Amino acid sequence: MIFVTVGTHEQGMDRLFKELDRLIEEKKFNDEVIAQIGYSDYIPKNYEYRKMISYDDMDDYIKRADIVITHGGPGSIFHALKYDKIPIVVPRNPKFKEHIDEHQVLFVNKLEKEKRVIAVYNIKELSGKIENYSKLKNEFNCSNLNNNKFIKEFSNLINNLI
């Protein structure tokens, strides 16, 4: 199962959901897809979706998912990392009116360099990331990532800044 979440930011991510529909229509993968689409205007045609879901439901979907696809929000990324899932991350991009600045692009780029996420900057790359997910995630040694320590240290850093 593929679980997709774009958080609760008030700008949508239609390009992600359109691309998923296109990939399913072209039979690029057979996995069940469940998506939390937030404030996106696009309504998926080929997979289950909800605008918003509770934290408990999200937690359950992330635990059960074979692949987690998310936007570049730290909460969504770290939720996947908490369960040693290597997320495919499509950062919100102001060029597509998905955010007001490029902070998600910069943040995801940093995490990608640290080998913590599989980044998708061009939506046309999503297909290859899904198709090659097993190979890509095997390049990450999850036991060496020590994600829970990373999440705790990062949370402390954020709390100290606030």
What are the tens digits of pLDDT across the range 3-40?
Answer: 999 999 999 999 999 999 999 999 999 999 999 999 99
Number of residues assigned to the chain: 162
CATH number of the domain residue 36 falls in = 3.40.50.2000
User: Which structural domain range is residue 97 located in?
Assistant: 2-161
What's the CA gap between 83 and 63, in Å, rounded?
7
What are the tens digits of pLDDT across the range 87-131?
Answer: 999 999 989 889 888 889 999 999 999 889 999 999 999 999 999
Tracing tokens 């959901």 back to the chain, one arrives at 17
What's the CA gap between 130 and 136, in Å, rounded?
9
Confidence of residue 144 (pLDDT cuts 50, 70, 90): very low
Buried b (16+ CB within 10 A) or exposed e, 35-71: bbbbebebebeebebeeebeeeebeebbeebebbbbb
Indicate if the pLDDT at residue 80 is higher than 80.
yes
| Residue 151: predicted pLDDT | 66
Indicate if the pLDDT at residue 143 is higher than 50.
no
- How many domains is the chain built from? 1
